[in-house]
Amino acid sequence: MCHGKSPISSLPTFFDGYEKRVWAEGAGAQARAQRHAGHPIRRARSHRTQRGSRSIRARKPTRASTTAARRIATPKQPPPTLSSTMTTAANGNGHAHAAPDAGAADPAPKKPWRDNKEDPNSLRAIIRTNFPTSIDDAFPFLKVARTMTRDDLKNDLAAGLTVAVMVIPQGMAYAALASLRPEIGLYSCILPILTYALVGSSKQLAVGPVAMVALLTTAGLSPIVDPNEDPDRYQQLASTLAFMVGVLQAGMGLLRLEFIARFLPHPVLSGFTSAAAIVIGSSQIKDVFKIKIGRSERLQEIMDDFVHNVHDTHGLTFAVAATSIVFLLGARHVKRRFKAIKMLPEALVLVVFYILVSKYADFDDKGVKVIGKVPAGFPSPRGILTSELGQLVGPALTISIVGFLESFAVAKTIAEKEQYPISARRELIGLGAANLAGCFFKCMPVTGGVSRSAGNYQAGAKTVFAGAITAVALTLTVLFLTPLFADLPRPILSAIIIVAVSTLVDLQEFTHLWATDKRDFLLVSCAFLCTLLWGLLQGILVSAALAVVLLVQRTANPHSAVLVKVRDDPPVFRNRERFPDGVPIPNVLIYRQDAPLFYANADSFQESILTLAGDGDGDARVVIIHGGAMPLVDSTGAATLTRIRRRLSERGVRVVLCEFNGPVRDALRRAHVAYDADQGSEEGSEEGSEEGSE
């Protein structure tokens, strides 16, 4: 320990009058306690009143009254700031006090020792927190139904019919992308969207098949069952996958594990999405050119088959696909310029036009592949393949996370524009319920679609009833209109898919990340290349693992700073690297780490402090560890603080902890780490926040 005169006793005395203020505060509290004792109401509480012929006798003080009087007489003190810690070090005592502000209000009395709050760890509190406690909580649409107006119903009717028109061609196209029959895409837009409308939190989200989930579906199922050899088993396996996705999403929502889905960083998702869009587009080459291409999700294999078989291109098929792509891209451009046709369903117009052309030009006889007979009516309930559940865990987890992130992004964007709250937990539960409801009726995995949701919002949807209207319109389509789709050419569906995924390729993100953060550029490049050349599931798993490695590497080697004084009154301390003109305190080291102190960086933290404590003109006699930027200290970090204090005390150096927040102080107390003024409330930890903020 430090002996003799304190090495910082010669600091500028901006602490002058500190003890006087503390004693004045204490004296004021004692005077107030005496006035309370002389007050007639207060006196009546401590004596018995005379009743009849009884004499007044004094009541024996109880433990509660004694404790309350002591609390009134003792001023409340906040935890130590950097200034008060340095005052303590200068005086050489073992307690740090912070001077109260002049003119501060009287300290509020502490809460009584008996508290009626419910234990957060009790079964009742857990159920109340994690499960709905009322009908409105379980089904938010009931509250919407009581508040919606006639104008809202009109807007929802128009928006619901608009989305139904968009969904018909998209649903069939995305079902074909998942190697399923076109009617499966229509089935997947009825029960899931209706179920989400009952329990979801977004008013405009349109749930159904999307390109990314469709490609992940075929990537996960093709290694198990070949859709060309056993299409019925493949379809049942797709419904089983929807069941697994629903269980995972609903489970994460009920257990408040939505942070797991958010753990996938944006660069990984951006690179994966861009690569997957290219793979999706290239996978449609076989139907655009009508050539033989092996089933693969690797770009180099698809391109190799294309080069070897491009000479077998069917001219009429290519002409139909090319004109369809040109029409869809042109319609998109025209709709941006002319607001009057903004809601034009160009995909449905294209489908109707080519159905008529195909029917009267006999495309089927001329070699253009058509969809064929589509069964009318709604499918009957069907069970899942429980024997295959183990093989579907990986694809189901990937679809659960990627689907939720895509859906929540568009739902949050619309909710912010409309200024209503949206819950990530409720979204997970809603998407999980949608998949669970559809899995028994031949539905594929679904999530919220970007284009459909944007169209629903632009069409004026105000409540979740727009989704219900979409479901009703699609039900009527499935019951009465499906025979009309028999002559629809398959190249039309491929053209719809190619144009839809073209907007997902975002190459500008690469240049942006290269200029801002090289580590994030590494992530987006890894996700892009691995997905493009190795496969969808492998690409996202490898890039997610790399993201975890980089995160651990960042926290294991965090930014740290040695603080110097840049201003005297009030005292302000800053990073000496950013403020080279700052004045260091002689024989005092003030060290701050801008990251949690845990097992990954505890050794480097100890090594840095022990090294810095011996640097400079003379060895440090006081080491102040500033915890203002340290939100977490685990058991390894607490043991490291104890070890640092012991090692430096052997060299006659005193270690002082300051500016740690309330939860960290509690953790240190549980770990038996001495804190320099183990008192005060968490609110007081914000005092002196100006010190060492850079």
Among 95-109, 313-327, 373-387, which is the least confidently predicted range?
95-109
Q: Check residue 113 and give its pLDDT.
A: 41
Q: What value does the mean pLDDT take over residues 19-31? A: 46
Tokens of 268: 């990984």
pLDDT higher at 247 or 83: 247
DSSP E strand stretches across 99-184: none
CA dist 170 and 209 (Å) reads: 8
Evaluate the CA torsion angle 673, 675, 679, 682 in order and state its sign: negative
Calpha distance 171→419 (Å, rounded):
30
How far apart CA 366 and CA 487 sit, in angstroms, is 13
Least confident stretch, 138-142, 251-255, 329-333: 138-142
Q: Give residue 377's pLDDT band: very low, low, confident or very high (50, 70, 90).
A: confident
For residue 100, cis peptide bond before it (omega within 30 degrees of 0): no
Residue 292 CA to residue 277 CA, distance in Å, equals 21
CATH code matching the domain that covers 1-48+59-97+558-694, chosen among 3.30.750.24, 3.90.1150.10, 3.20.20.330, 3.40.50.720 = 3.30.750.24
Q: Is the pLDDT of residue 238 over 90?
A: yes
Q: b/e string for 432-471 if b means 16 or more Cβ within 10 A?
A: bbbbbbbbbbbbbbbbbbbbbbebbbebbbbbbbbbbbbb
Report d(CA 628, CA 596) in Å as an integer.
10
What are the helix (H) ranges across 382-461? 393-418, 424-438, 450-458
- β-partners of residue 625 are 591, 657
DSSP element (H, E) containing 498: helix 490-502
The pair phi, psi for residue 597, each rounded to 5°, is -100, 105
Beta-strand relationship, 588-593 and 572-575: unpaired
Q: Measured between alpha carbons, how far is 557 from 540 in angstroms, rounded to an integer?
A: 26
Return left, alpha or beta for 616; rule: phi > 0 is left, psi -120 to 50 is alpha, else beta.
left
| CA–CA separation, 173 and 214 (whole Å) | 10
Please tell me whether residue 605 adopts helix, strand or coil conformation.
helix
Helix or strand or coil: residue 623?
Answer: strand
Q: What pLDDT score does 460 carry? A: 86
Going by their DSSP bridges, the two strands 622-626 and 654-658 should be labelled as: parallel
Q: What is the mean pLDDT of residues 52-59?
A: 46
What are 195-231's pLDDT values in tens digits? 998 888 898 999 999 998 998 999 899 889 999 889 9
219 vs 121: CA distance, rounded Å: 42
Q: What is the pLDDT of residue 237?
A: 95
Select, from the ranges 3-7, 118-122, 419-423, 664-668, the one with the highest average predicted confidence (pLDDT). 664-668
Closest to 239 measured CA to CA, from 256, 219, 217, 264: 217
47 three-state secondary structure: strand
Cβ(601)–Cβ(633) below 8 Å:
no
- Asked whether residue 389 carries a pLDDT value surpassing 60, the answer given is yes
55: DSSP letter: P
Residues 151-157: contacts with CB within 8 Å, 24+ apart? 151/462, 152/462, 152/463, 152/465, 153/465, 155/459, 155/460, 155/461, 155/462, 155/466, 156/460, 156/461, 156/462, 156/463, 156/465, 156/466, 156/469, 157/466, 157/469
| Residue 152: predicted pLDDT | 85
**How far apart, in whole angstroms, are the C-alpha atoms of residue 498 and residue 483?**
25
In this prediction, residue 42 carries a pLDDT of 47
Kindly state the tokens that stand for 406. Answer: 């895509």
| Comparison of pLDDT for 49 and 566, the residue scoring more | 566
**CA 180 to chain centroid:** 32
- Given strand 560-567, what is the order of strands in its sheet? 572-575, 560-567, 588-593, 622-626, 654-658
Q: What is the pLDDT of residue 260?
A: 78
pLDDT of residue 250 exceeding 90? yes
Q: What is the Cβ-side half-sphere exposure of residue 315, based on CA atoms within 13 angstroms?
A: 1
Please give the average per-residue pLDDT across 542-565, as a whole number: 89
Backbone angles phi, psi at 375, to 5 degrees: -65, 140
Would you list the domain boundaries of the chain? 1-48+59-97+558-694, 148-548
Q: How confident is the model at residue 683 (pLDDT cuts 50, 70, 90)?
A: very low
Task: Tell me the backbone φ, ψ of residue 626, rounded to 5 degrees.
Answer: -90, 115
Mean of the per-residue pLDDT values of the chain: 80
The two beta strands, 560-567 and 207-208, are unpaired
Supply the pLDDT for residue 261. 72
Task: Give the whole-angstrom CA distance, residue 340 versus residue 248.
Answer: 43
